[in-house]
A = this chain, B = another copy of it.
Amino acid sequence: MADKKLVEQITSREEDFAQWYTDIVKKAELMDYASVKGFMVIKPAGYAIWENIQKELDRRFKETGVENVYMPLLIPESLLNKEAEHVEGFAPEVAWVTHGGLEPLQERLCIRPTSETLFCDFYSKDIHSYRDLPRVYNQWCSVVRWEKETRPFLRSREFLWQEGHTAHATAEDAQARTIQMLNVYADFCEEVLAIPVIKGQKTEKEKFAGAIATYTIEALMHDGKALQSGTSHNFGDGFAKAYDVTFADRDNQLKHVHQTSWGVSTRLIGGLIMVHGDDSGLVLPPRIAPTQVIVIPVAAHRPGVSEKAEELYTRLKGRFSAKLDNSDKSPGFKFAEAEMRGIPVRVEIGPKDMEVNKAVLVRRDTREKIEVSLDDLEEEVGKLLEVIQHDMLERARTFLNTHTYTASDYEEFKDIIENRPGFVKAMWCGDRACEDKIKEELAATSRCMPFEQEEIGKTCVCCGRPAKAMVIWGRAY
């Protein structure tokens, strides 16, 4: 039934995944390219998803005691330079402001690529005593990183995100908060975005610039590539020492605080597209969909149909995020449009349905059609949305499981990476040289050392020396 013209405009997912992705972000009207290379205009359909992500995450953050703040956009070069590893990691990719108004600045300022340095500067002045701890602050903002290659939502020179920055009295408290926030992210991804993730620790090579440990949630996209979907860092007292963030403890000793930071970004929108989307467009889980249900009249010119559609819409909008398409487009075009935008349920109502007091519910995820009595409309739509949310997570979980492989030697490892896109579990010796070799020869990286370790062998898949940990490997965005 869906309109062919609209559908034919997108490339098939199996044929050219990258082009399919680009087609979707444009045709589902999620974003547009800005006049500055690598920057995005996030359009209403895309921004509404981000607003829902914000609302859900912000509530979960606040339940754990997070308070929101706002730090400045600009960082003086001297402030950025205080922590050696951090500046080395970020200085090559920041944008520099050199003039304010008509005057050159005495010191150049970079646009924040992340705000550790600003939070440290603030905490160094604002924290005095153990009574001031913990500080559990977060901000919602945009950051700029001058990337060379960019792709909408996945890697752009400016992106929207949240960055949490905390300060604690002890190393244990900092470690607990680091893991707590990783769990908030993982639960959010599974429960709301219907994206199952693997939780684990990054290797030394892959960790954040300045962290003592970085934890990550890794999701698997439909093309078998990994998407790092959120990270949580434990800084120990390294930043505190560089920025002199101290407090007087209960024992009257002056001590350095222990810090964490954690963030997710508009990248999650890219993940939603690549996990759930299909050849008809976006497929959104009900809990994140800006529009959960759309009412579309069929044969709207026939007496009473348009009015009935309006009536159903009025009933639904009290309980769900609902829309009515009573424009003069053809039903087929409206169906295709609703599918492209990923609306989880559409309600079709026509003269024949009305005769038998029924409507047809169509699931976006499976295309299944379900006749329901108009008497039970709200209840049936509510149940169906729950079923869709559940099924989408299960399908994504099945995909993840069936695309996670195990390799015990390099030949097997190479064969999987090159021929069977997905995650590969393999043992690792702990040496960066093996990661470097794998990256160079196979364009794959260590995604994480998962919390759920399995001893699938005793030797490193790359060098054959004794193994220290099981690593999930893969090609990644």
Contact = CB atoms under 8 A, between A and B. Distances in A.
Interface of A: 32, 34-36, 39-44, 47-48, 50-51, 67-76, 79, 92-102, 109, 111, 118, 121-122, 125-126, 137, 141-142, 144, 146, 157-158, 160
Contacts of A43: 69
Quick one: which of A74, A98, A101 has the most chain B CB within 10 A? A101
A109 B41 contact: no
Contact of A73 (B32, B111, B125): B111
Nearest to A135: B44
Total copies of the chain: 2
Given A95-B99, A97-B97, A100-B95, A73 B122 contact: no
Given A93-B101, A97-B96, A97-B111, A44 B68 contact: yes
Contact of A36 (B74, B126, B137, B146): B74
Given A101-B93, A146-B101, A73 B158 contact: yes
Contacts of A99: 95-96, 98
A35 B79 contact: yes
A32 B97 contact: no
Contact of A47 (B70, B111, B158): B70
Contacts of A74: 36, 39, 95, 144, 158
A36 B93 CA distance: 21
Nearest to A141: B142
B68 A41 contact: no
A74 B126 CA distance: 32
Given A101-B93, A111-B97, A47 B34 contact: no
A243 to B, nearest CB: 11
B111 A41 contact: no
B94 A96 contact: no
A47 to B, nearest CB: 5
Nearest to A131: B327
Contacts of A75: 36
B101 A142 contact: no
Given A97-B111, A101-B93, A41 B67 contact: no
A63 to B, nearest CB: 13
B72 A158 contact: yes
